[in-house]
Amino acid sequence: MPIKSFRAKIKHGAKDTISLHTNNGAIGYRIVKFELFSASPSTERTESTIKIYKVPQTAADGAVDFSDQTLLAAGFLANYEQAQYPLPVISIFDREIFNQDIYVTHDAGDAASVDCNYYIELEQVRLDTNENTVATLKDMRNITSKRKVTP
């Protein structure tokens, strides 16, 4: 199936929405690539935590919890004086197939003025009726349970 790509620059504390939903939900997606690149590489100490979720987030923070079933991917990019070419740490949960919108958050830690670029590639997966129903119900359940937990 085809690959769709998205790229953007995100500010500290920002939340982006990537619109993927369709009327019939017959197309699912899987993250195949997730990359981070500092918007202003410098010798200053900077950190960026970017996460991709299946449900909207109330806030962008730097805490990463792999037990959160709504988390699709997480990336951390650190730039220090000693690191001439910093490499990001990326985790993608590639078995996850979703057919609804996804949400990207960014936390820059102490360097609140730092922006970060991200690049995401999604593999399109054609879903049959049963897979479509399961993916949609899973997403709805995640949205409902996330709302109950969030104040």
Q: Domain-by-domain residue ranges, the chain? A: 3-149
- The answer to whether the Cα torsion of 126, 130, 134, 139 is positive or negative is positive
- What's the mean pLDDT in 4-30? 90
Residue 137 confidence class, pLDDT cut points 50, 70, 90: low
Residue 150: pLDDT over 60: no
The pLDDT value recorded for residue 113 is 76
DSSP percent split of the chain into helix, strand, coil, nearest 5: 15, 40, 45
Sheet containing 3-10: order of strands: 3-10, 116-126, 27-38
The residue ranking higher by pLDDT, 135 or 75, is: 75
pLDDT > 80? residue 131: no
Query: 66, exposed or middle or buried, with CB in 10 Å at 0-12, 13-18, 19+?
Result: exposed
User: Over 50: is that where the pLDDT of 149 sits?
Assistant: no
Predicted pLDDT of residue 144: 57
Q: What percent of the chain has pLDDT over 70?
A: 78
d(CA 21, CA 133): 13
Look-up: residue for tokens 């202003």? 40
Tell me what pLDDT residue 96 has: 83
CA neighbours closer than 13 Å in the CB half-sphere of residue 41: 9
Which pTM value belongs to this model? 0.82
- Residue spans of beta strands (DSSP E) within the chain: 3-10, 15-18, 27-38, 46-53, 71-79, 89-92, 102-107, 116-126
pLDDT, position 135: 62
State residue 146's pLDDT score: 53
Instruction: Answer yes or no: is pLDDT of 46 > 90.
Output: no
Per-residue pLDDT of 91-119, as tens digits, reads 888 788 888 899 999 999 877 678 899 99
pLDDT at residue number 140: 57
Average pLDDT, stretch 24-42?
A: 86
Under CATH, which number does the domain 3-149 receive?
2.60.120
Do strands 116-126 and 27-38 pair parallel, antiparallel, or not at all (unpaired)? Answer: antiparallel
Q: Rounded to an integer, what distance in angstroms lies between the CA atom of residue 50 and that of residue 89?
A: 10
Place of tokens 């918007």: 39
pLDDT score for 25: 76
